[in-house]
Every structure is written in structure tokens, then in C-alpha cells.
Amino acid sequence: MRNSRAFGIVGFLVVVVVVIVLIATATPLLKDIGTDDRFTGNDQSSTDLVANSENIVGNIGAALKGLKDSFLAEKNYVVVRVFYATDRNLTSSKEPKTMFGNERASLRYGTADVSIPRDHRLGELEEPSILRLEFKEDPDQHVVLMHVVVQDADAFFRGVKSKVAESGKRSAFIFVHGYHVSFEDATRRTAQMAYDLGFEGAPVLYSWPSQGTLAGYTIDESNAEWTQRNLEDFLLDFAERSGADDIHLISHSMGGRPLTRAVVALMQRHPELKRHFSELILTAPDIDAQVFARDIVPGLLQTGAPITLYASSEDNALAASKQVHGYPRAGDSGRGLVVMSGVETVDATGMDTGFLKHSYYAETRSVLSDMFYLIHNGERADQRFGLRGIDSPAGRYWVFKK
């Protein structure tokens, strides 16, 4: 695709050069004809000839400009619009990637436009690589946060409602990111997920003030707790104002803490809203496994929405969290694997080949495909062809077929 575009541009430039030469040669000649008595005399036709010739030259110029604009308008990427709500602080920066910081603030809303290369590979979050001698972001090759707009709540929900109405199921998903994630990376990930899942509804990001650094873990824990009430209020507004009847709630890692507790609190306050939420997907949740099973799951079950939990025994990030806290995490599929009634637990061990093995939910073809059928068709674990059920003393869970 890139080679054909390059050849097309070269061809266009050759045509431009030839036409310019012809125009440059013909224009003085035409003017001479119009002023030379040997040709003009009192004949009005010669004057018309000059006028018509100049019109032709002008039309050729206009046509060339249109052709140029057509060539330059060709892009090797598509733009995914992400709707966002965030309680990060708004900085003074005008650059999209640094527009929001890592401090606490009141809720703000808006849209973020993210480029996805047309030759994007499923599960990839393409970015510049020194190994490929890439030192600058290029929307034709990378997933790039291109534009961020801040809106008031009314404008935000009008946009969401319009996008929801375009989808057949009036659907939306709300993604809550985890620890060590900047606003920029959260929007890029949300767009990539929406694109890879072929999601036709409104992709929505809820971004809380993660520090975006490895050293910021304890601060992130505090902010994940602090953001819970803001997230709860946002979910209430979204259920009432978005027009969505099919809302999928998705969290990753530490983002599962505020999301699960916000959902439980919201259902206690407004049980009538449960009909809006069709699925709760928890990927690699960094939540104490025993607290999750004892205190959180019973409340989540009150929503009536199915719960899917993706876990892995190879998740190095959660292994580190276990060392810090002293107890297994809900996203760990080792001996502490959470298997209980009302939760469809999927063991994704062996799916991620990355260093941390913590982002398999969005980077692994098998998991993305599984989520595709879960979100698009509402298929339960026993119905999804890529999974195999295993019966244990604690109950049934699923693994990916090899």
C-alpha cells in the first residue's frame, strides 16, 4: 500500500512538471498573439481566444490543486474517537499527550482522537522503535494520540448518545485502566481495544490519576481508592444520559478496585439501573483474592450482569503485588485461583509472551478473540469455541484450547 502510494505521488509530480512547462511555454505565446497586429486587427475572435486560453490555464491550475489535495488527503491510518471522563488535573500544556497530569481534580469530559495504522496488527500498540530507526511518531505506522478536546458534560453526553445510536445494540464499553498508566497510554489502549474488537458502539475511557511510573504504586493505590466515588457518579450519569442499553464494564489490574466497588455502591443506591449493564469483565485484577470473593462478588452479583474474570499464573506484575501485600491477587490463577458461583473465570496462563505477562487482555489474539464473542454475541464461556471447561472441587473454570 505504501509503495503504490509513493509511485502515485511520483506520477502526480511528473504530470505537474509537464503541465507547468506547457503552461509556461504557451501563456506568453498566447499573449503575443493577442497583442500582435498581424493577428488581432479588429477581429474580436482573437481577443476571445486569449480570454478563453487564460480561462483554460486557470481551470488546469484548479484541477491540479484538486488532484494535489486528493493525493495529500490519502492516509494510511484510521481515526478512532474515544470518549473520556477523567479526574486527573488539566495541565497548561496544549500537547495532547501531556494535557492531563497525575494529580487529583474534579471530573472533566471530552473526546480523544487516536490513529490506528491500516496495517495494524491485532493486539499491537504500535509505537516508534529505535531498532527500526524510528524516532518520531507517525500515524501511518503508530498508534498516536492526535487530538484531545475538553467538553462540558452536556456536550460529552450528546456525542456519546449519538455514537451509541449508530450501533445496532445501542452499546458502549467503559474501560478503567490500571496502575502505571498515563492519560496518553490509556487513550491509546482504549482505541486499540475498540478497533481490535470491531466495536461499533461508544468506546469510553475512565482515567483516574495514576502516576504513570513504576515507583508510584502506593500513590496509585491511594488514588484508586479516592476515585471510587467519582467513578460511581460517572456510571450513574452514563446509565441515565448515554442512551446505551448494552454497557460493558471492563477493568485492568488496579482499575478493578474502584470499578468493582463503584458498581456495588451504585447498585445499592440505584438498583433500577442494573438493566443497563450487560457484562462486567475483570482482566488481571490486582485485588486481594479473599476480599474479592468474600466482600465484592456478592455485591456484584446483585447487578444481574454476568462476570468474567481473566487470570494468569505467569503474571509477573501480580506476583510482585503479592509480594508487597502478602496475599494472592484475584488475577492470579495459581493455587489462589478464584472459582465461585456467578463468576466465569478464564485461566489465560501461557497466552502472554511479554516480559510482565500482564497485558494479555489487549495484546493476545486468543484473549481478544474470546472477548470479541463475549461482547458481540453475549456468549457464555461454555459457548465460546476457544475455551475448554475444567471441573474442579471449587467449581468450573475455563482454559484456552492449545
Most confident of 38-52, 55-69, 142-156: 142-156
Instruction: Note the pLDDT of residue 4.
Output: 40
Q: Per-residue DSSP letters for 274-329?
A: GGGEEEEEEES--SBHHHIIIIIHHHHGGG---EEEEE-TT-HHHHHHHHHHSS-B
Q: Residues of the chain with pLDDT > 90: what percent? A: 73
Section 231-251 average pLDDT: 97
Kindly report, residue by residue over 106-156, the tens digit of the pLDDT: 999 999 999 999 999 999 998 888 777 777 999 999 999 999 999 999 999
- Please state the pTM of the whole predicted model: 0.82
Kindly report, residue by residue over 82-115, the tens digit of the pLDDT: 999 999 999 999 999 999 999 999 999 999 999 9
Taking all residues of the chain, what is their mean pLDDT, rounded to a whole number? 86
Three-state DSSP class for residue 263: helix
Q: Per-residue DSSP letters for 55-123?
A: HHHHHHHHHHHHHHHHHHH--SEEEEEEEEEEEEEE-S--SGGGSEEEEEEEEEEEEEEEEEETTPPTT
Instruction: Note the pLDDT of residue 354.
Output: 72
**356: closest CA among 312, 388, 400, 325?**
312
Can you tell me the distance from the alpha carbon of 37 to that of 115, in angstroms, rounded to the nearest whole number? 62
Cell output for 391: 471441573
Residue with cell 493505590: 221
Kindly report, residue by residue over 340-362, the tens digit of the pLDDT: 999 999 999 998 767 678 899 99
Residue with cell 447487578: 303
The residue type found at 86 is T
